[in-house]
Amino acid sequence: MIERIHDIYRPADERVRDFNEVEVRLAPEQVREQMLRCHNCGVPFCHGAGCPLGNVIPDFNSAAADGDWLTAWRILSETSFFPEFTCRICPALCEGACCNGVNDDPVMVRQCEKVIVETAFENGWVKPVVPAVRNGKRIAVVGSGPSGLYAAEALNRAGFGVKVFEANHKPGGLLRYGIPDFKLDKRVIDRRISLMRQAGIEFQTDCRIGLDVAGQYLLRNYDAVVLATGTPCARDLNIPGRDLDGVHFALEFLQGQNRVNDGELRTLPVNAKGKRVLIIGGGDTGSDCAGTAIRQGAASVKQVEIMPMPPETRSKSTPWPAWPWMLRTSSSHKEGCEREWNVASDRFLGENGVLTGVEVHSVKWETTSEGKPLKPVAVENSTRVIEADLILLAMGFSGADPKGPAADLQLKFTPRNGLIADPEHHVYTVGDCTTGASLVVRAMADAKKTVQEIIRDLA
């Protein structure tokens, strides 16, 4: 029986000394063998229930098993325009839905995707897609994260003239400025942007719509405007001591490191070197902070979360083929990050305006019969202090920016602060700004779906 390969990382003591990608690329022979684990199911849940892009996973797995990388690439690239991003950073919803997962490890689809796309690049199979005919219509895309890039590529392929406006110095959104280099090498983004430019897509960076250029100006000068502006507003923790020196948002910290790595900044705006780092928020952003703090030379790194520790295996509340709620231990956690659950923060502590720690208490969770946490209850006499010189707030994002283009274009918001499109006036919204903070693959899938609406509306 062929078992799934689990160790796909560079050794921890080596990788913490640099910001290069932590995952290795499997050899084609290893992937060929792994793909023999795929049953090419009659009803492929990986494709139907798992992948938001609708990747035809069993078919490219089969081609990979045969070592037919060109066919595998053709199948993959038909449904996914940027598999080089997802193969590095997607949590692989497809693997959560893989039939093998019922009683065994799922097929390693993401690693297969990586070998397919990187083989395609190496062989020159990935080419700029220039439309055969231009339809004479022009579309402005605001924001160049994965959803904006996906919309731009899809619209360009459909024959529209596309210009992407981006507030940052370089395109990529959170791919470039949020996700650490050790998960996604930024040369992977540059390589894609270069192809997009060759295909005729224009990029205007350092341009904030709503400030440098009005949203109304875009509406007057383009046939449609696509907002792909993400969710820049991070959730804050407004407890006493919030203004102490040493409490920062996770993105401030992560962005700083990525900009230094890229040469955009010379010094780190927030530096963890020699500090006791506490990350509040137990999700992926927090895990990225841990890996970054460890590489910066933090004295210690701890991550706390108010929610209970997830079960080691799939929770009954998320039965297959749903994405499993279960404990996830990232490569960063394994590099030296201590974790605690059921921790609620009460007040930041400091001396002379400088952070020294946080007072916390423990909570117990009332749960459903399936183990799903419902309500936290404070545990008596559990108040204690966690000492820290740097606290990073990684508690998610509160929705789209109410200012800027959303205000200019008088867009309405959902109850959860997502932008509502206004197709009547040819204003569309894609990605996190409309769905709420999510995943790269979902942001791209949302753009894919919306582009179909745009094509229909502007026909």
* Residues 356, 353: Cα–Cα separation, whole Å: 9
Q: How far is the CB of 202 from ligand FAD (least distance, A)?
A: 14
Residues 104-123 as x/- pattern, contact with ligand FAD by CB under 6 A: --------------------
CA distance 204 to 167: 9
Q: What are 43's two structure tokens?
A: 């009803």
User: Which 174-213 positions form the footprint of ligand FAD (CB under 6 A)?
Assistant: 174-175, 178-179, 183, 208-210
Q: Is 438 in the site for ligand FAD (CB under 6 A)?
A: yes
Dump the DSSP string for 54-80: ---HHHHHHHHHTT-HHHHHHHHHHH-
Of 166, 133, 132, nearest in space to 151 by CA: 166
Q: Which stretch binds ligand FAD (CB under 6 A): 121-129, 130-138, 222-230, 266-274?
A: 222-230
> Could you say whether residue 26 binds ligand FAD (CB under 6 A)?
no
Interaction between residue 256 and ligand FAD (CB under 6 A): no
Q: How far is the CB of 89 from ligand FAD (least distance, A)?
A: 4
Instruction: Name the minimum Å distance from CB 302 to ligand FAD.
Output: 18
Task: Check binding of 228 to ligand FAD (CB under 6 A).
Answer: yes
Q: Which stretch binds ligand FAD (CB under 6 A): 69-77, 282-290, 355-363, 418-426?
A: 282-290
CB 347 within 8 A of CB 240: yes
Identity of the residue, 90 or 411, whose beta carbon is nearer to ligand FAD in the bound complex: 90
In the complex, minimum distance from the CB of residue 353 to ligand FAD, in angstroms, rounded to a whole number: 28
Site for ligand FAD in 134-163 (CB under 6 A): 142-148
Q: How far apart are the first and last CA of the chain?
A: 53
Q: Does 332 bind ligand FAD (CB under 6 A)?
A: no
Which range binds ligand FAD by CB under 6 A, 165-173, 258-266, 300-308, 367-375? Answer: 165-173
CA dihedral 107, 109, 115, 118 (to 10 degrees): -170
Contact status: 408 vs ligand FAD (CB under 6 A): no
Cα dihedral sign, 43-46-50-54: negative
DSSP structure class, residue 167: S
Q: Does the footprint of ligand FAD cover residue 230 (CB under 6 A)?
A: yes
Q: 60-66, long-range: CB within 8 Å, 24+ apart, which pairs?
A: 60/112, 60/113, 60/116, 61/35, 61/107, 61/109, 61/112, 62/35, 62/38, 64/31, 64/32, 64/35, 64/112, 64/115, 64/116, 65/32, 65/35, 65/36, 65/38, 66/32
| Minimal distance, residue 236 CB to ligand FAD, in Å | 15
Tell me if 142 sits within 8 A of 405, measured CB to CB: yes
Per-residue tokens: 332: 């960063």
Of 360 and 447, the one with the shorter C-beta distance to ligand FAD is 447
User: Shortest Cβ distance from residue 428 to ligand FAD (Å)?
Assistant: 13
List contacts with ligand FAD (CB under 6 A): 89-90, 142-148, 165-168, 173-175, 178-179, 183, 208-210, 228-230, 251, 254, 284-285, 288, 404-405, 431-433, 437-441, 443
